[in-house]
Each structure stands twice: as structure tokens, then as C-alpha cells.
């Protein structure tokens, strides 16, 4: 057995105090790595070859300790790569070492490329940071070969924002894939892949999240994903979409905007405020979501006595504002194309995005005028009938058009009539409009949890719905007789 040097010699060699050495030796004795002979000699119990001892367990010289300290304190930890180290004199003082010890510690760092000399100073070299592997969720949404998803509503924008936030918190990467099915054969456009009829298998993919908005056939998209046997979470635009799909173990549906609950809650809010007769105004009543909201309102008011009444004022030829925008773009008297061409020829290419914005604003202005003309007779009827004390619009866009019209007619909101919408959009906030806020974030969390907690595909098909809440602002109030 090898006899260790004295405590003082070990302490001097390691640049520590004798008390520290004594504590370490006591610990090694308890671990039976050292034995004491005749009360004063300390020996290594088992001879171990130098090669078998890890470097961090070997007795290091002072320059090696300094080298490790520089790596830990600057290169790997506290400082970003590419910045300057302190001056050599400052390093000497900070670590209480000689010039020779510092120079010897810097030599292997320079040789390995961890640091370099730049302008007479030491700089930490840019290190290639290894990207930590993360599992991945593929998000599939409607779009085109350009690679951009089709996003037209604030709720869709929230969907993409929240899903990025939640995935980051769950330490999961996202890959966005475009699905186009409005042309010929449906096609996927994955990132860095060629267009294909089905997605390639990838063990790193935990599952798929599908946004059904703007898809021609959700069922076809789902059937192309089912062979993967991985969990699917589907944001359903129309509840009837799921009726065409076979129940599969890994499939779950998520819905926030197409239930009657939103109508129920907005109706309960007006009942609490004392309103007995309200109007439900929808220029988009060919849609399932508008019908569901009206159904919830009628159900809630129907539980009251006969003095409570809902006045449905409905346009059944359109499903959304995009039907009206399409009418504007296809109308014979539209000059959108001509105006855009003149502006494109007149202004430089660098202003193309702003020209496009102007073009869209022009379409939106004429779209809103078309909607307003469609509902104007209903608004005039409401104004002439003081028994109607509140208006519930099918969405915020319609509600804000109503708000502007009432103000133009001198109607005091909410003193004479209360007003509310759905979607809790930014424009609703700016204009003080009471609105129903859909709980998109809770839906996103549930979708990602479905994927991450059911990677074995052991979940039965379900429809999950999420209640939102009424956000009361300046356009609603109690009855003043």
C-alpha cells in the first residue's frame, strides 16, 4: 500500500488549508479507501492504476486547477461566447496565482481553441452549442404551397400563439405542416420535405394537432394520419365533421366556439342585468356557430315566464364575413383589381406589402358596408321598439357595426340599449364592447396534454368542450325605466 504525504505537504500541493485535507481524509477512511497505520501513517487501501482514476479524482496541480476554474467560471458558465476575458494581471490577482501558473493554465485552452488572442487580449471563442433533442408535435393546418397557413380570425391567431407558448413550457418542439385540399389530390407540405400525399414516419413525432379551419374535408386529412397510430388532437370547426369519422383510440376532438354554452352565458348575463326582451342579430346565420349561439340564448330565456322574449333577426345566406368579402371581390362594379394595378405600377416594389394592406382594407370597408346594408332594416326596427333593451350580435364584427350605427343615430349606449358580441377581439377591447371570450388557451393545453400523455394511443375518441366567460365593458348595463 502507498503511503500518503503529510497533511501539510498535501495542503501545500493542493493550495488548501490542512483542516480541509483532514476532513477529506476522514471521509475517505469512512469509505474504506484509506487506512491508518500505527496511528500516524495514512495509506491507500487498494492500489489503483493512474489510468483507471478519473481526472477529477486525481490530485491536480495548481495550473490544472486554475485551468478548470477558468473553464467553469468563464467559458462554460457565466460569460457568453465571443466576449473578452479579464486582463491577465486581473486574473492573477483574482485567483492569487503567479504569472507562470497562469500562462501554463492558458496554454491548453489556447491549443484547444476555447480561447484565442485578439488585439493582445484573450477572447472566448464561439463554441458550437449542441442542440438538445426534444420530442416533436406536428401541427397541421390549411394553407397553400407557399408554406403560409391560412389564418383569418383572431381566434386562429391566438391558436398559433398559445400553442407555441405551451409547447415551449412542455419542452416540446413544434413542426408546422400545410395541408391543401382545395385543388386536386390533397397534399401535405412538410418542412424541408417534398409535397406528399402522406407524412413520412418519424419516431421523434409524439403526435399530431390538426386545425380543421378552412379544410375542405377534415375526414380525408384525419384518415391520412390514422395509420401512424399516434395520438391526434383535432380542433373542430364544425361539430358535424366528426360524424363522418370512424372512432379510433388515438383520436380526440376539441371545440370552443361551436357549442350552445356561449349563448347560454351571454343570455344569463343579460338576465342578471334585468333585460326581458333582447334581439339576436346575425348576418351569418347559415353557419352552425351562429345557430348554436341562438339556441343557447333561446333555451335560457325560455326558462323564464312569458314576459321574457328573444327576437331572432337572421340573414341565412352567409356563413361568415368572408362570404360578404367574396361578394365584394366578385361584384361587377368592383374596382379593386384596377386600383391595385394602378398602385402597383405607380409605387416601387419595396412598398408591395403596404399596397396589399391598402387593397385588403378597401375590401374590408366595402364588406362592412355590405353587411351594414343587409342588417339596417333590423336595426331600424330595434330602434323603433323600446321593449327591446339589448342586442346580442353574432360576433364582434357585427356588434361593432351596430355600435357605430346606433351612435350615428344618436342612440345612447347603454342608457337606451345594451349591446354585446362574441370573440373578445382587440377591437372589442378598444371600443369598450362587452363580449364573450372563448377559452382558447385551455383548449391548447388540453390538446398538448392529450398528445404528450397518450403517446401509446390508449385514449378513446372524445369531444372536449371548453367554456369561456363574458367580459363586461361599457356597452352593457341594467334597465333604466
Return the CATH number at 281: 3.40.50.2300
3-state helix, strand, coil in the chain (%, to 5): 45, 20, 35
Q: Name the domain count of the chain.
A: 4
Specify burial of residue 197 (Cβ count, 10 A radius: 0-12, 13-18, 19+).
exposed
Q: Report the relative pairing of strands 136-142 and 232-235 from DSSP bridges.
A: unpaired
In the sheet that 462-465 helps form, which strands lie side by side, from edge to edge? 187-189, 173-180, 136-142, 205-211, 232-235, 251-255, 462-465
- Residues 239 and 283 both lie in one domain: no
Contact 325, 294 (CB under 8 A): no
Give the bridge partners for 420, in sequence order. 392, 434
273 and 240, same structural domain? no
Instruction: Give the span between the Cα atoms of 227 and 327, in whole angstroms.
Output: 41
CA dist 191 and 346 (Å) reads 36
Closest alpha carbon to 172 in 198, 138, 207, 136: 136
Burial of 185 (0-12, 13-18, 19+ CB in 10 A): exposed
Which residues is 471 bridged to in the sheet? Answer: 435
Say whether both 204 and 100 belong to one domain: no
pLDDT given at position 127: 59
CA dist list (Å): 127 to 48, 72, 124, 130, 418? 36, 14, 8, 9, 62
Which cell is 60 given?
A: 491536480
Cβ pair 278, 388 in contact under 8 A: yes
Are residues 208 and 167 located together in one domain of the fold?
Answer: yes
310 beta partners = 278
Element housing 444 (H / E): helix 440-453
Q: Which domain holds residue 35?
A: 7-57
pLDDT tens sequence for the chain (481 residues): 566 777 777 776 776 677 677 777 777 776 667 766 544 566 666 544 444 444 444 567 888 888 888 888 777 765 555 678 888 888 888 888 998 899 999 988 888 888 888 877 888 886 555 555 678 999 999 987 777 788 877 888 899 999 999 999 888 999 999 999 877 789 998 876 677 888 888 888 999 999 988 888 888 899 899 888 899 999 986 655 555 555 566 888 898 877 789 999 999 999 999 999 999 999 999 988 899 999 999 999 999 999 999 999 999 999 888 889 888 878 765 555 455 555 556 666 566 566 666 777 888 899 999 999 999 999 999 999 999 999 999 999 999 999 999 999 999 999 999 999 999 999 999 999 999 999 999 999 999 999 988 644 444 457 788 889 999 999 999 876 5
Q: How many CB atoms lie within 10 A of CB 147?
A: 11
Residue at grid coordinates 490542512:
18
| CB-side neighbour CA atoms (13 Å) of 390 | 30
Do 235 and 287 lie in a common domain? Answer: no
Residues 6+ apart with CB under 8 A from 88: 99, 102, 122
Count of Cβ atoms closer than 10 Å to residue 29 Cβ: 14
Report if residue 305 sits inside a domain. yes
From 72, 146, 67, select the one nearest 112 (Cα to Cα).
67
According to DSSP H, which parts of 62-137 are helical? 62-70, 88-95, 99-111
Exposure letters 228-242 (e unless 16+ CB within 10 A, then b): bebbbbbbbbbbebb
Please provide the distance, in angstroms rounded to a whole number, between the alpha carbons at the two ends of the chain.
103
Assess whether 331 and 367 both reside in one domain.
yes
Residue 439 to residue 133: CA distance in whole angstroms: 31
For residue 246, what pLDDT is reported?
A: 53
Q: What is the pTM of this model?
A: 0.62
Helix (H, G, I), strand (E, B) or coil at 137: strand
Last residue of a domain, one of 57, 75, 93: 57
129 in a domain, yes or no? no
Rounded Cα–Cα distance for residues 37 and 35 (Å): 6
Angstrom distance (rounded) from CA 399 to CA 413: 12
- Within 10 Å of residue 134's Cβ, how many Cβ atoms? 14
Residues 349 and 295 in one domain: yes
Q: Are 273 and 404 within one domain?
A: yes
Look up the CATH number of the domain holding residue 212: 3.40.50
Same domain as 184, residue 72: no
Q: Is 260 helix (H, G, I), strand (E, B) or coil?
A: coil
Is residue 50 located within the same domain as residue 72? no
Nearest to 142 by CA among 216, 214, 210, 242: 214
Asked whether residue 462 is assigned to any structural domain, the reply reads: no
Q: Does any domain span residue 463?
A: no
Residue 353 main-chain phi, psi, to 5 deg:
-65, -35
Q: Computed over its alpha carbons, how large is the radius of gyration of the chain? A: 35
Q: Quote the cell numbers at residue 263.
A: 349563448
Amino acid at each position: 500500500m502507498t503511503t500518503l504525504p503529510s497533511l501539510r505537504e498535501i495542503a501545500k500541493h493542493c493550495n488548501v488549508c490542512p483542516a480541509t485535507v483532514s476532513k477529506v481524509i476522514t471521509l475517505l477512511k469512512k469509505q474504506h479507501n484509506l487506512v491508518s497505520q500505527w496511528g500516524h501513517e495514512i495509506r491507500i487501501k487498494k492500489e489503483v492504476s493512474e489510468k483507471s482514476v478519473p481526472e477529477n479524482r486525481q490530485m491536480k496541480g495548481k495550473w490544472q486547477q486554475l485551468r478548470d476554474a477558468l473553464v467553469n467560471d468563464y467559458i462554460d458558465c457565466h460569460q457568453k461566447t465571443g466576449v473578452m476575458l479579464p486582463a491577465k494581471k486581473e486574473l492573477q490577482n483574482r485567483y492569487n496565482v503567479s504569472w507562470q501558473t497562469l500562462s501554463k493554465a492558458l496554454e491548453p485552452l489556447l491549443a484547444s481553441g476555447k480561447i484565442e488572442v485578439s488585439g493582445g487580449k484573450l477572447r472566448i471563442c464561439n463554441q458550437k452549442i449542441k442542440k438538445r433533442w426534444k420530442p416533436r408535435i406536428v401541427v397541421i393546418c390549411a394553407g397553400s404551397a407557399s408554406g403560409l397557413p391560412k389564418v383569418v380570425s383572431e381566434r386562429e391567431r391566438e391558436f398559433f400563439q398559445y400553442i407555441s407558448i405551451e409547447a415551449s413550457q412542455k419542452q416540446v418542439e413544434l413542426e408546422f405542416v400545410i395541408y391543401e385540399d382545395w385543388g386536386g389530390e390533397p397534399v401535405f407540405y412538410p418542412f424541408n420535405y417534398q409535397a406528399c400525399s402522406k407524412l413520412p414516419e418519424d419516431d421523434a413525432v409524439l403526435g399530431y394537432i390538426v386545425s380543421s379551419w378552412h379544410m375542405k374535408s377534415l375526414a380525408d386529412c384525419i384518415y391520412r394520419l390514422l395509420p401512424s397510430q399516434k395520438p391526434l388532437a383535432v380542433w373542430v370547426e364544425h361539430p358535424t365533421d366528426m360524424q363522418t369519422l370512424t372512432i379510433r383510440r388515438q383520436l380526440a376532438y376539441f371545440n370552443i366556439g361551436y357549442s350552445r354554452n356561449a349563448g347560454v352565458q351571454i343570455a344569463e348575463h343579460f338576465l342578471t342585468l334585468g333585460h326581458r326582451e333582447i334581439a339576436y342579430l346575425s348576418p351569418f346565420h347559415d353557419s352552425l356557430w351562429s345557430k348554436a349561439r341562438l339556441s343557447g340564448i333561446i333555451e335560457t330565456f325560455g326558462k323564464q315566464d312569458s314576459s321574457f322574449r328573444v327576437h331572432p333577426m337572421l340573414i341565412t345566406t352567409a356563413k361568415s364575413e368572408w362570404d360578404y368579402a367574396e361578394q365584394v371581390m366578385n361584384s361587377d362594379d368592383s374596382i379593386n383589381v384596377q386600383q391595385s394595378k394602378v398602385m402597383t405600377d405607380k409605387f416601387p416594389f419595396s412598398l408591395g406589402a403596404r399596397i396589399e394592406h391598402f387593397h385588403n382594407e378597401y375590401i374590408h370597408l366595402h364588406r362592412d358596408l355590405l353587411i351594414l346594408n343587409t342588417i339596417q332594416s333590423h336595426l331600424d326596427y330595434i330602434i323603433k321598439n323600446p321593449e327591446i333593451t339589448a342586442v346580442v350580435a353574432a360576433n364582434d364584427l357585427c356588434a361593432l357595426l351596430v355600435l357605430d350605427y346606433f351612435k350615428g343615430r344618436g342612440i345612447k349606449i347603454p342608457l337606451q340599449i345594451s349591446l354585446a358580441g362574441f370573440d373578445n377581439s382587440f377591437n372589442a377591447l378598444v371600443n369598450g364592447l362587452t363580449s364573450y371570450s372563448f377559452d382558447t388557451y385551455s383548449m391548447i393545453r388540453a390538446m398538448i396534454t392529450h398528445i404528450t400523455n397518450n403517446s401509446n394511443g390508449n385514449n378513446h375518441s372524445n369531444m372536449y368542450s371548453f367554456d369561456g366567460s363574458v367580459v363586461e365593458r361599457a356597452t352593457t348595463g341594467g334597465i333604466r325605466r
